[in-house]
Chains A and B, each alone.
Chain A
Amino acid sequence: QSALTQPASVSGSPGQSITISCTGTSSDVGGYNYVSWYQQHPGKAPKLMIYEVSNRPSGVPDRFSGSKSGNTASLTISGLQAEDEADYYCSSYTSSSTVEVFGGGTKLTVL
């Protein structure tokens, strides 16, 4: 069961937009609309930012949005803020185990 593929790092300036990709297969990302995204600040527990590809939990700013095309899901953060600097992980349901699988994580740096 391989982890989903994310870029190791992305960066952007305050106010800009960035997109983090998450590539899987037809057995996970491509086969189900069950992709979630998590934000993790250093020393903190992860926080759910997006579920079911594009839904935001209550309290998550609408600057965060999710989408999917084929086997690749994406998280877009618009109007970057300093507090967005964190690690981001995608997670997907997978038919190969019925336990979800995470991506390797992406470190977002706000310049």
Chain B
Amino acid sequence: EVQLVQSGAEVKKPGESLKISCKGSGYSFTSYWIGWVRQMPGKGLEWMGIIYPGDSDTRYSPSFQGQVTISADKSISTAYLQWSSLKASDTAMYYCARHEVGEGSDYWGQGTLVTVSS
């Protein structure tokens, strides 16, 4: 069974750093892209970027380039999304998803809620 399991909810202060994770199982982790999607409270979905764990090819949406870092450790089938200095506007639910370019995202993690507040 394909599963993507994300790390738990986080509460952080502005300026702090954060790294959240997404662990894949039940499939060849290095053969599919992993995408990250942001959903701010009461708002729509936004693609942040994608990574191919097989060779770490990473692509960012222009809105998120330079704002976050996407990485993966294929030895433990885990992808990461990290911030070096959080802002209140980073408060959102973040989803990871198994993604095939052009074919959509067929499996999703349960989401990680990030709350940034002083």
**Residues on A facing B (Cβ under 8 Å):** 1, 3, 32-34, 36, 38, 40, 45-48, 50-52, 57, 87, 89, 91, 93, 96-105
Chain B contacts of A102 at CB under 8 A?
Answer: 44-47
A56 to chain B, nearest CB (A): 11
Q: Looking at chain B's contact residues, is the secondary structure mostly helix, strand, loop, or mixed?
A: strand
B16 to chain A, nearest CB (A): 26
0/1 string, B94-118, CB within 8 A of A gives 1: 0101000111111011110000000
In whole angstroms, what is the CA distance A100 to B35 when docked? 10
Contact indicator B61/A48 (Cβ below 8 Å): no
In whole angstroms, what is the CA distance A105 to B111 when docked? 18
Contact indicator A51/B47 (Cβ below 8 Å): no
In whole angstroms, what is the CA distance A33 to B104 when docked? 11
Chain A contacts of B47 at CB under 8 A?
Answer: 91, 99-102
Question: A89 touches which one: B45, B48, B61, B63 (CB < 8 A)?
Answer: B45
Using CB atoms, name the residue of chain B closest to A101.
B47
A68 to chain B, nearest CB (A): 13
- From 63 to 118 in chain B, residues with beta carbon under 8 angstroms from any chain A beta carbon are 63, 95, 97, 101-106, 108-111
Q: Which of B37, B49, B104, B109 has the most CB of A within 10 A?
A: B104
In whole angstroms, what is the CA distance A73 to B106 when docked? 19
Chain B contacts of A100 at CB under 8 A?
Answer: 35, 47
| B60 CB–A CB distance under 8 Å | yes
In whole angstroms, what is the CA distance A32 to B102 when docked? 8
Considering only CB atoms and an 8 Å cut-off, how many residues of chain B contact the other chain? 26
In whole angstroms, what is the CA distance A91 to B100 when docked? 13
A97 with B62, Cβ < 8 A, contacts A48-B105, A57-B106 known: yes
Contact indicator B50/A99 (Cβ below 8 Å): yes
Contact indicator B61/A52 (Cβ below 8 Å): no
Using CB atoms, name the residue of chain B closest to A104.
B44
Chain B contacts of A52 at CB under 8 A?
Answer: 102-104
Contact indicator A1/B62 (Cβ below 8 Å): yes
| B59 CB–A CB distance under 8 Å | yes
> Could you list 8 further interchain pairs (A-B, Cβ under 8 angstroms) beyond the known A46-B108, A101-B61?
A1-B63, A34-B102, A38-B45, A51-B103, A57-B106, A96-B62, A99-B47, A102-B47
